[in-house]
């Protein structure tokens, strides 16, 4: 009976977590999850334009795409650098690098843009 109660408790705890957290984020460690969440919020709130295969996207659209790739590559992602590499660097189909266009600055590869932000986050 005790094991059934514990199993039910764990099931309910996990079920409630599924609603609050995307399924692909449940198995990662808290420090990694915090870094990834920070980067996703950084992209979502940017005024810059994210270019993928010649089309431009705002931050929220970029995050939607990055999250799809994040879910696809979840098993390969062990670090925030892996997250950037697999989810936010280049097109799986064309192999073209994503770029970020910010105001009057020259375009920068999204990989470099996000790695710079990740280092700033870690230095805080």
Dump pLDDT digits (tens) for 62-112: 999 999 999 999 999 999 999 999 999 999 999 999 999 999 999 999 999
Q: What is the pLDDT of residues 30-51, one digit of tens each?
A: 999 999 999 999 999 999 999 9
3-class secondary-structure state, position 69:
helix
Pairing of strands 108-109, 99-101: antiparallel
Q: Under a CB-based contact definition with an 8 Å cutoff, are residues 77 and 87 in contact?
A: yes
Task: State the pTM of this model.
Answer: 0.77
Q: Does residue 3 register a pLDDT over 50?
A: no
Per the prediction, the chain carries an average pLDDT of: 84
């Amino acid at each position: 009976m005790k094991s059934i109660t514990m199993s039910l408790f764990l099931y309910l705890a996990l079920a409630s977590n599924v609603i609050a957290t995307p399924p692909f984020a449940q198995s990662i460690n808290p420090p990694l999850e915090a870094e990834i969440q920070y980067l996703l919020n950084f992209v979502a709130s940017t005024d810059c334009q994210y270019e993928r295969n010649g089309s431009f996207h705002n931050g929220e659209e970029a995050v939607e795409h990055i999250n799809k790739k994040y879910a696809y590559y979840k098993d390969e992602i062990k670090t925030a650098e892996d997250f950037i590499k697999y989810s936010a660097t280049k097109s799986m189909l064309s192999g073209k690098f994503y770029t970020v266009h910010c105001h009057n600055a020259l375009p920068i590869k999204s990989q470099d843009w996000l790695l710079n932000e990740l280092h700033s986050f870690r230095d805080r």
